[in-house]
Amino acid sequence: MAYEQMLYNILEHHRKNEDISKKVYRYTGLIHAIEFFSQKFNLDHIEKYIFEFTNELLLPNQIAVFIRKNHEYKLMQVNGYDKEQYTIKYNESFDEIIKYNSGLLRQNNLKTYFSKDIFSDFECNFIMPLIMDCELYGFIFVNRNNEEFLEDDEIIANALMNLFSTSLSNYKYFKELENVSKQLNEKLFSLFAINHSSKALLSSLDLGALYRLSISAFAELTQSSFTTFFLYDSISNSYKLMSLKDVYNSSSVMFINLYPTKSIKDTKIRILTDMSNESQRNQFYDLFEDSREILKDVKISYVVSLLKKNRLVGFVTLGPKVNGNQYENSVFELIESLASSTYIAINNAKNFQKTNMQKEIINNKLTRLVKLNELMKNINIAGNMEQLIDLTLSTLSVFFGVTSGFIGLYDNDKDGINITRSINIDGNLTHIPLQDELLPLKLGEKIILNSEADVENTFAPEIVECFNDTYSGALFVPIFVDENELKLLGVIGILAIKDKILGDEENIITLESIANHIAPIMYQFISLSKIIDQYRPDYQAVFLNDLKQDVIEAEEFYLELKIIHIEVGVNFTFTRINTDKLRKQFEKVYPVDNMNIFVISFDKEPVNDIISILGENISCKQYDYGKDFNSFEEFVSIYS
C-alpha cells in the first residue's frame, strides 16, 4: 500500500506541474497576442491572426471564422469542419448580439440567432462574436469533440474576443482618422491652391491674360482633359465661352454662346451637375436653347455652377481626368471657390477698364473745357464783331480740329446767312438762303446732316460745289438770344472735324456752348435789366437740388423735414413776389415763378409763421417727410 500511495503522489505531482505548464503557456500566448494585436495591421492580417491565435490558445478540434462581406457572412478560414465554402445571410437579429450579449454565445442562446441548418453544418460549443466598433464584423465557431471547455478556456476565449474586437475597432478608427487626415490634407492643398491662384488672378487686370490664367488654373488643379469656362454676358443675354483648354489639342478654338430658355433671374441649377446622371444632364441641357447640338464637341463630365445671389452668372465644365481616375468631392469645392475668385477678378478687371475709359473720357472732357475756357478768354478780348468771329473760328480750327466750316450772321432782309469767315470753303460763297430744311435754326434748334448725300439733298448744287468736297456731313448750331421771342443772330456751320464724328454729343455740346457764349457778345445792345433777368437764378433747379440733400440729411439725422408750397393769387401776373420778409424768418425760400413759392423748413409749425408774414390771402400746402413722401422722387411725383 505504501508503494501504491507513493506512486499516486508522484503521478499527481506530475499532473499538477503539467497543468501549471499549460496555464503558463496559454497566458504567455495571451500576452503575445495582446502585444501582437496592439500593433497596426491591415484587415487581412488581423483576420488571419485571429484564426491562428484562437486555434493556438483554445486548442479546438474544429474552428470556422466568418467575416461579413456586404450583406452576408462568408467562411474565410476553417479547420476540422468539412466545409470549405459557406455563406450565412445577414439578418437584423444579428444586431441584437451586440446589444444584448456581452460575451460568448453559448448553446442556450445560439438558436435565437442561427438556424438548425447552420448548427448541423457547424456543431460548436460556443460562438465568439467579432465586433468592430458597434457592428458585428464576424464570428468564430469553436468546438471540441471529446473534451469540454473549462473555466480557464472560457477566460482565455473572452480575453481573445475582447482583444480581437479592440483590434478591429482600432483598425476602423485608424482608417477613419486616416481618411480625415487625407481630407484635411486635401483641404489644405485646396486652400493653398485657391490662395495662390486667387492672388495671381486678382493681380491681373488684363482680361485676355485673366481668361488664359483662369482656364490653366482650372485644368491643372483638376487634371481635367477638357476644360471650359462660361460667363454671363449681359449685352448678348447669353452665356459666353470665355476660354477653354484641351489637353490633347492645344490649338483647339471654339466660339460658343448659350442663350438661356428662361430669364437669368429664373434660371435654376444645382451647384454640381453630374453629366453621367441622365436626369441632371437633361436638366442642364434644358437651361439653354439647342444646347445638345451646340455642346456636342465639348467633352463634359461635370458642370460646376457659379451662383451669385441664387443667379447663374457662369459655370466651369470638366472633362474626363487625364489619368482616368474619378474626381473627388474636394475638387469641386476647389473649382467653385476658384471660379468665384475668377469672377471677382474679371469684374475687377472690367471695372478697371471701365474706370480707365471713364478717366480717359473725363480727361478729354477736361481738355475740351480747358480749350473752351481758352476760347472764352480769347472771345472776351474781342473788340468788334469781326475779331469775335475770327477768334472763334481760329479756336475751332486749332483746338477742336475743325477742317471745314464757317460762321455766318443772319440777314433778316434776305432771310439767309451771310458767311463772314470760313475754313476750306470757296470764297465765292457769301450767302446761304434759309430754305425749308434750315428753318428750325430760327427756332433755336440745331440741324445735323449725317452723310454727304444729306448735304447734297439739302443745298443747291452751286452751294455744294463751294464746299470743295471737304464735307462728310454737316452740323449747324444757331447763335441766338431769347428776348421775349427767339432772335437768330447767326450760325456756326461745321462740315468736317478731324478724327471725330460730327454728330457726337460732345461736339454738339461744345459748339452749343460756344454759340451760347458768343451770342450775348454779339447782341451787345441788350439792356442791363434784361441781362440781369437772363442770369436770374433758376430757383426750380436750386430748390430741387437743396431738397435732395435735405431728404438725405433728414433720413440720416431723423429730422422733421417739411415742404410748404405757397400759391399767391389765381391769375398770372408779371409782378414779382417780394420775399424779403419771408427770408428773414426762413433760410430756404424759392420763388420758382411769380405765383408759386416753395419753403424748406425744419420748424414745428411753419405754416402759421408764413401766414402771419404774407397774410391770409395765400394758399399753403404742407408736405411732411415720412408721412406725405418718403423720398425725393416721391415728392417730385406729387407734381407730375
**What percent of the chain is predicted at pLDDT more than 90?**
3
Please check whether residues 16 and 162 belong to one and the same domain. Answer: yes
Grid coordinates standing for 282?
437633361
Count of other CB atoms within 10 angstroms of residue 73: 22
| Alpha-carbon gap, residue 355 to 347, rounded angstroms | 12
Domain end marker among 155, 175, 195? 175
Per the rule left: phi > 0, alpha: psi between -120 and 50, beta: everything else, 333 is alpha
How many structural domains comprise the chain? 4
Closest to 375 (Cα-Cα) out of 265, 515, 280: 515
| CA distance to 197, 284, 295, 300, 306, per residue, from 271 (Å) | 21, 11, 19, 15, 7
- Say if residue 205's pLDDT is above 70: no
* Domain around 244: 204-352
> Which comes out higher in pLDDT, residue 384 or 58?
58
Closest to 143 (Cα-Cα) out of 160, 124, 129, 163: 124
Please check whether residues 61 and 161 belong to one and the same domain. Answer: yes
In a domain, 192, yes or no: no
**CATH code at position 628:** 3.30.70
Helix (H) or strand (E) holding 305: strand 302-308
In a domain, 199, yes or no: no
In this structure, what DSSP letter does residue 467 have? T
Please check whether residues 45 and 164 belong to one and the same domain. Answer: yes
Q: Are the CB atoms for 235 and 334 separated by under 8 Å?
A: no
Average pLDDT (123-151) is 85
Predicted pLDDT of residue 530: 45
DSSP string, 472-495: SSEEEEEEEEEESEEEEEEEEEEE
What is the tens place of the pLDDT at every residue in 459-513? 888 888 888 877 878 888 898 887 777 888 888 888 888 777 776 777 788 888 8
Count of other CB atoms within 10 angstroms of residue 305: 19
- According to DSSP, the residues that pair with 588 across neighbouring strands are 600
User: Which value, to the nearest 10 degrees, does the dihedral of the CA atoms of residues 628, 629, 635, 640 take?
Assistant: -70
> Which residues fall within 8 angstroms of residue 467, CB to CB, at 6 or more apart?
404, 425, 426, 429, 455, 495
Predicted pLDDT of residue 11: 52
Predicted pLDDT of residue 598: 92
Confidence category of residue 529, pLDDT binned at 50, 70, 90: very low
Please check whether residues 526 and 544 belong to one and the same domain. Answer: no
> Which comes out higher in pLDDT, residue 299 or 385?
299
Please check whether residues 527 and 547 belong to one and the same domain. Answer: no
Predicted pLDDT of residue 65: 92
Please check whether residues 632 and 549 belong to one and the same domain. Answer: yes
Please check whether residues 474 and 327 belong to one and the same domain. Answer: no
- Say if residue 599's pLDDT is above 50: yes
Residue 67 C-beta-side C-alpha neighbours within 13 Å: 14
In a domain, 189, yes or no: no
In a domain, 150, yes or no: yes
- Say if residue 188's pLDDT is above 60: yes
Predicted pLDDT of residue 536: 65
| Alpha-carbon gap, residue 631 to 617, rounded angstroms | 31
What is the tens place of the pLDDT at every residue in 345-384? 777 877 888 888 888 878 877 777 777 777 677 677 766 7
Burial 426-464 (b: 16+ CB within 10 A, else e): eeebeebebeeebeebeebebbebeebebbeebbeeebb
Domain end marker among 299, 332, 352? 352
R_g over Cα of the chain: 49
Average pLDDT (99-109) is 74
- Say if residue 70's pLDDT is above 80: yes
Please check whether residues 390 and 505 belong to one and the same domain. Answer: yes
Please check whether residues 559 and 479 belong to one and the same domain. Answer: no
In a domain, 191, yes or no: no
Please check whether residues 518 and 545 belong to one and the same domain. Answer: no
Q: What are phi and psi of 230, to 5 degrees?
A: -110, 140
In a domain, 371, yes or no: no
In a domain, 398, yes or no: yes
**CATH code at position 269:** 3.30.450.40
Please check whether residues 170 and 213 belong to one and the same domain. Answer: no
DSSP E strand stretches across 526-586 = 562-568
Domain end marker among 494, 514, 531? 531
In a domain, 591, yes or no: yes
Please check whether residues 212 and 336 belong to one and the same domain. Answer: yes
